[in-house]
Chains A and B, each alone.
Chain A
Amino acid sequence: EVQLVESGGGLVQPGRSLKLSCAASGFTFSNYYMAWVRQAPKKGLEWVATISTSGSRTYYPDSVKGRFTISRDNAKSSLYLQMNSLKSEDTATYYCARHTTHWGQGVMVTVSS
């Protein structure tokens, strides 16, 4: 069974950094593109980052480009999202996803002073 478990969320001040982690199990992690998706409170879903199987290619929308970095460690079956220069509009539940097919339960990130 595919399992994706996010961690690292919490309350952070604007302008600070936070790193999310996702532990994957139940599938061969290195064979799949992975992603992070977020949902702001009472708002829609937004795809925020994708990473290729080897990690050599990454993709971001303009809203987070230059501030967020997705990475992976295939030896540890782990996915990461480094979030820098955080803004209040980054407040959301962040989901780790095995591309478009499987999602984790999500972790809450609150950016507030």
Chain B
Amino acid sequence: DIQMTQSPSFLSASVGDRVTINCKASQNINRYLNWYQQKLGEAPKLLIYNANSLQTGIPSRFSGSGSGTDFTLTISSLQPEDVATYFCLQHNSWFTFGSGTKLEIK
């Protein structure tokens, strides 16, 4: 089974900061990695698919990079509405989630 290690588990940053969240796969997953945002009480929302493709309607301050085993979600300029939990999902072999990153505004 493929394990996903996500870091950090908690992140506090200021409005306007550049924020990065990482996911590391236990084996090569090519680019089969998605990123999601989940706000309190809402359904998870797809942000990035296949490592670096921006889902329709998602602001361009969100971007994804990586391939193989190491992946990064970047928010280029943090906005107040970005407070949420973010998690990754590998879909190369079955489906495995990262443990999540709770993002708050300082």
Residues of A that sit less than 8 Å from B by CB:
4, 35, 37, 44-47, 50, 59, 61, 95, 100-106
Contact A101 B43, beta carbon cutoff 8 Å: no
Contacts of B87 in A (CB 8 A): 45
Asked if B81 is at the interface (CB within 8 A of a chain A CB), the reply is: no
Contacts of A59 in B (CB 8 A): 94
Instruction: Name A62's closest neighbour in chain B (CB-CB).
Output: B1
State the CA gap A105–B96 with chains docked (Å).
20
Instruction: Name A48's closest neighbour in chain B (CB-CB).
Output: B95
Closest approach, in angstroms, between the C-beta of B9 and any C-beta of chain A? 11
Contacts of B91 in A (CB 8 A): 100
Closest approach, in angstroms, between the C-beta of B84 and any C-beta of chain A? 14
Complex partner residue of A104 from B43, B94, B97, B99, CB under 8 angstroms: B43
* Closest 6 pairs between A and B when the two form their complex, measured CB to CB: A47-B95, A45-B97, A103-B43, A103-B44, A105-B43, A44-B99
Instruction: Name A45's closest neighbour in chain B (CB-CB).
Output: B97
Residues of B that sit less than 8 Å from A by CB:
34, 42-46, 49, 55, 87, 89, 91, 94-100
Contacts of B97 in A (CB 8 A): 44-47
Contact B89 A100, beta carbon cutoff 8 Å: yes
Contacts of A106 in B (CB 8 A): 43
State the CA gap A50–B89 with chains docked (Å).
15
State the CA gap A37–B91 with chains docked (Å).
13
State the CA gap A33–B94 with chains docked (Å).
14
A sample of 21 cross-chain residue pairs with beta-carbon separation below 8 angstroms, ordered by A number, consists of: A4-B43, A37-B95, A44-B98, A45-B87, A45-B89, A45-B97, A47-B96, A50-B95, A59-B94, A100-B34, A100-B46, A101-B46, A101-B55, A102-B43, A102-B46, A103-B43, A103-B45, A104-B43, A105-B42, A105-B43, A106-B43
